[in-house]
Every structure is written in structure tokens, then in C-alpha cells.
Structure 1
Amino acid sequence: MTVPPAASLVDLVLGLALGSSDETAGNRCSLEGVSWGPRHEGAIELGIRKLEAKALRLASGPLVLEIGHVVVHKLAGQVRIEAGMPHLSAVEAAEAELSGVKLHGPLILPPQLKAVLDVFQGRSGAAPAAGIAAGEAAPGTWCLGPLASADGTIRGEITDAHLLFDAEVTVPIRHGRIDFNDATVEHVGPDSRMGVSRLGLYVDAPNGRSYLYQFASAPLMGVEFERRGALLSPWVSERGKLQLQAFAEALLRQAGGGQSQGLTQQARLLLERTALSGEVQLSDGLFAMPGVQAHTEGRADGRNAIRLHSEAVGSGLSFEMASLSVRDAVARWAGVHLRCDRIAARLKLQLVAGGPQMRFVLELQNVKVVGPRLERRQAGDPVPPEGRRA
């Protein structure tokens, strides 16, 4: 049978306003195999063998989610009556398939992530996230396992570098490591060199050394600092190396504690004139950040390869993954917990700067979600154990 979308139920679950992404045809929803009945403790169990919907538009404040087509198989939910009002406490399905998914709006970050971004952008006075002591991060907050053995190349084209000449920057990534001896900065005249010292990431140009990113303290995990020649030689014999996973996690912990100094003013000016491109093949491993975690898988089949592109990094950046593949995914926001056994999709994420706040556009195609489970939790409710960190 065909029925109007259950707007009240959607609003009840996620607090969203429901509309149509197709103003001409309107949204459409069909249900097959609907059943319901009482369960223990006054709960009502709802079952739907197949739910199919098209042209959905859901909004929560400035955030908008558009879904071109969704099919959900073997949907089951529990509804409880509390204070005379129905509350959907949990819903799960065997599988869901989606296409034409687009989520867009201002980039609204939780306090912990915003503190990290403020530090990386060099904003003075950035304070540690609430509840975290300076220099520390909540246990298990960050894990960047997909960088452990990543491979790829990042390329940058700096227009009118130092107002004198253009430059082409190439940074290879091999087995999860950046060796600055292999990085190149090519331009007219003698080329420049990149490296890492105890003060930060730098570029040695013909007119002297400039720091792009300054460390609050050294040593950091995952860093082999530059080495000078013998007998106090001023010449650098080794430019240094970064183990990406350990280095990035340490940097994020410093930033989360309000310690890292972040990008220098010169680096921010260069980013305004830097076009970026690159490809990075992620490895299989646990990715975790505040509110989200998942295990990437399928490297042997070429999955989870990222393409980067930007005409000017200071204005925005895009990420594309032709084949995202993760398992044991968990997301939490506003008292809602979403868990999925597996997710596969084609993904494109655009970050757009300009104006008072950065905006984002996330587009998904060919989405397949296995075993999604959605729960609403109150403060103090027990949380089921999640996958351990690898």
C-alpha cells in the first residue's frame, strides 16, 4: 500500500522537519508487510517488511538532509507510551539501500573538535575542551588506524610564492610515513626543501627558513627530527620523517588540550594561494574521533582511496572516495546512538570557507547499510560495549 510519509514518527525520532526534495512530484512512501502488537513492559513492537521512499527532505535547524531514494528491509521498532505520549526508543533493520543522499549546512562542530580546529587555525586563546586537562585527551578519543600504512602523493601548486615566483610541492606518502628527504619544492632558481625540526614543520628556501606549523612542545610521537652533519655542521643531512598515525594522533591530543601553536601566519597566507591535489590509499584499521568510530576494510580491493582537490585551500577543499567500505560503525549525537554492521558507498565531501562560518556538502551514492540500529539514550543509561581499539 502507499501512504504519506509518517512525519510525526520521523519528528519523534530525530526532531526533524519532513518535506519533499521534489516540489513538483512531492515525496512518496510505500510500506509492505506492516505489523504491530504489544510486548512486555507496555512496549509496542512495530514491524515493516519493506519500506521504500523517494524525494525526502529532512531539516534540523540549518542542516538539511535530502534522500533521493531509500529502501529499508525488515524494519523493526519499539514504541513506548510515556506521560501519555508515544516515544520510539529503538529501531533496527536488516539492510538499507540509499541513493541521491545529500547533507549540507554550516559546519557545526562539538566543543572538543572546535577547540582542535581553533588551534590548527592559529587562533589565540584557544582553551582545552570542557572536561579535559591541558595536554590530555579523553581516553580513546582519537585513533587514526587507516593512516598506519597509507600510500599516496600530495601535490600543491603555490601561486606567486613569497610574491616572487610560483612553486610546485610534492609530498610522497609511503607505508604510512612521510620522508622529507623525498619531498620536493620546485621553483625558479635553487629549489627549496621541507623538513621537521623540534620547532615544527618548515621550508628552507634560498632566502632562509620559514615555519609552516609550530609545535607547542617536543618531542612528539611519530617524529624523527632533522639531523645536522658532523662537527656542528650548519648543513642538514637528514630532513626528518613523520609516522602519520602516531604523529597526527599526538598533534590532535596537543590541540585538544589547547597546547599546540598551529599554523603560522605565513602558512595561512600561502594556503590562500595554494591549489591542492592528491590521492591517498588508506589502510584497514580503526578510525575514531569524538562521536564517531568505524573500521575501514577492503584495502586489498582498492577500497577507501581518497582523492583530494582544491583550487585554493584557504577557500575550500573536497574529498572523494569512489568506494568507502567500513564495518562496526558507531555515531552518537544529541542522545541518539546509531550503529551499523557495515557501510559501503561512494562519497564526496566539500568544505567551503567564506563568510562567518565554514559550510559543508556531503553527497553519497550507491549506499548500502547492513544491520543499522538506532537508539535514543538518556544521560546515565548504560552503553553497550563497542569494538576495542586495534
Structure 2
Amino acid sequence: MNPKQLLVGVLIGTRPEAIKQAPLILEAANNFPRIRPVVICTGQHRELARESLSDFGISIDVDLDIMQQGQTLSYILSSIVQKLDNLFEKDPLDAILVQGDTTSTLAGALAGFHRHIPVGHVEAGLRTYNLEEPFPEELNRQLVTRAALYHFAPTQSAKDALIRENISPDKIWVTGNTVIDSLNYIASDTRCAAPSCLTDEFLRQPFFLVTCHRRENRGEGISSVCNAVKRLLQAYPEISCVFPTHPSPYVRQPVLEHLSGINRALVTDPFEYSKLVWCLKNAHFVLTDSGGIQEEAPTFGTPVLVARETSERPEGVTAGCARLVGTNEDLIVKECSRLMDDEVAYASMANSANPYGDGTAAHSILNILERNLT
């Protein structure tokens, strides 16, 4: 008799979740015939998530479609929990995989917990222990930890954090980060090419990549980053800046106000993931507050300057491939200038090993999940 097929929900709310959950969906389809992934999109960031999934050829099985203009965190959380509860009542799952620390992630963990569905937390154990940085993600992931049964930590330090919180070590596995799986998949694809907005003329000189979107950086933080960019472009006429902006008006509008009309500053819409990967691979360095980019850029030997006061990814700083610069304008200019002027300092960061995995995280997670659900 054939063993029972396992229905495993894979929850996706935002673009980073789509990118980091995609390898699990592909790996299940290709190498785990007993696991049937059910792709559930909450709609928290509807179009960005859909576009990212399309990069991997993945279609959505269930669309909760909760996105509305001016949505609050409370609306997102309550809407997803209710819609998932209705779904789980009708179509029970054997497990649900949630990723990271978004409001969708928390909603999925709560809904699964309420229905006694085992919750697997992908990218478990990241911590700053400052509930304001990042907000609301730090609280989200701490709460998800309490609701989850299986904890897939990307690094040993993440596992150590969970053990300090009295999570049983036999429910924690160090798997690496699935984003490296995604990166390897996309980097080998023919679609990994320069975005069309980067013309041959623009690419005649080097560029640095900037992204800034976190809630705690809105307002003064984004202004400081933009002012630093202007100073760098004035000081170094041999380099340009590419700044893809989040569609949120709280992010996009101030960036446009500061950088529109500035020579060699290219402010763009968000890139498809394959185009972003090309930029990470070819940028001279990256200035970002993104967690995913902190993990991705070191694969290509691209130095990362982190525009945050603290990071739940200390491994990159320890390994030497990342450096915290916060949103202090003078410090950003100083550290970017160091990468422009000091070849030894640049090489030290560029040659550091990526501490976030070897591209086999999805296989490890599904193997563990299948064993534990059998």
C-alpha cells in the first residue's frame, strides 16, 4: 500500500517570503513525492509576491486576497487568521511552513496552532531582543517561536538563541538559509540579466546598489541614506547609484524627493528577483536595510553595508562580509568611502565566506519534515 501523501501548506505573504519559500515548493515537487505543497498566498504584498513566484515558475493554490489600500498591521493579522481558519476547517493540512517574521508569518503560525496543525518555522531563531528594531518583526518571530513545533534555524547562533529560550534542542535543526538555494537557482538562469533601465551608457562605470524600506527607517532614516548617497556621488564622479524603491509611498516618495534630478542617481521601481540578483552580483558594494540582501550579496563577494543600528544576522558581520553603519549620514559616507579608497579593506570584505548556507536548505528541511510527520 502506498504511504499517505502529506499535505503541507507553504504560506507566502511578501516578496521575501516568496523568494525564500520557493525552493521548498520546487524541492518537494522534484524530490519528495510524498509531500504535496499547498501554496497559500495571503495577499499582504500581492503583486510583489506573485512576481517573485513567477520567477520560479510557481503558481498559487489558494489566494486569501486580503490586501487593501491603507491596510494596518491589525487588519492584516486578523484577516489572515480568520481566512486561514476557514480554510483549515474545510481542508485540514498535515503541517504548515511559515517563513521569517512578517505579519503573514505570525498569522499563519497562530492559525495553524489554533487548529492543532504542526507549524514549521523556516528561518527560526533570529533575534535582536529590541521590539522596536525591527518593528514589528522582532515581536512576530518571538511569538512564532512559541507557536511552532519544528524550528529550522539558518545558523548555529540562531539555534543557540532558541535553546536559550528553552526550546527543546531536538526540535531545532540548523539547515542553512533557503535564500541561498533561491540565489543559486536564479543566478544560473538566463533571465539573470541587467534590468532594462540600466543602459549600456549607464553601465560604462561602476555602480553601488541601495535599498531602504524598513518601518524603523522611514522618515529621518531614509533622508539620511539619501543625503549620504548625494554626497558620495559628488565625491566620486566615477561611480553611479542604483536605488530600487519599495512601492509604499512612505518609502518611494521621500527617495524621489531627495534624489530625482541628481546626476548618476537612478531611482527605479522594484526589480524582478532575477534582475535584483544580477545587480547584487555586479554592484561594487551594497547599502541596505534588507535582511535577505545581507544573506545574498556575500555569495557574489559583494560587500554589504547595513543601514540599521542592529541586525538579527550577526554572522555576516562576524565573517567580515557585512558591516553595520546605521542611518548616520556621516558614518555611511565614511564606510562607503573606505570601500572606494581602500583596496585592502574592500578585498577583505569581498573575499569573506558566506556564512548563511550552501544551497541545500530546502532539501534538509523537507527531509526532516517528512521524517517527523511519518
Question: Per the shorter chain, which TM-score range?
Answer: under 0.3
- Kindly name which structure, 1 or 2, has the bigger radius of gyration based on alpha carbons: 1
**More strand per residue:** 1
What TM-score do the two structures reach when normalised by structure 2?
Answer: 0.24
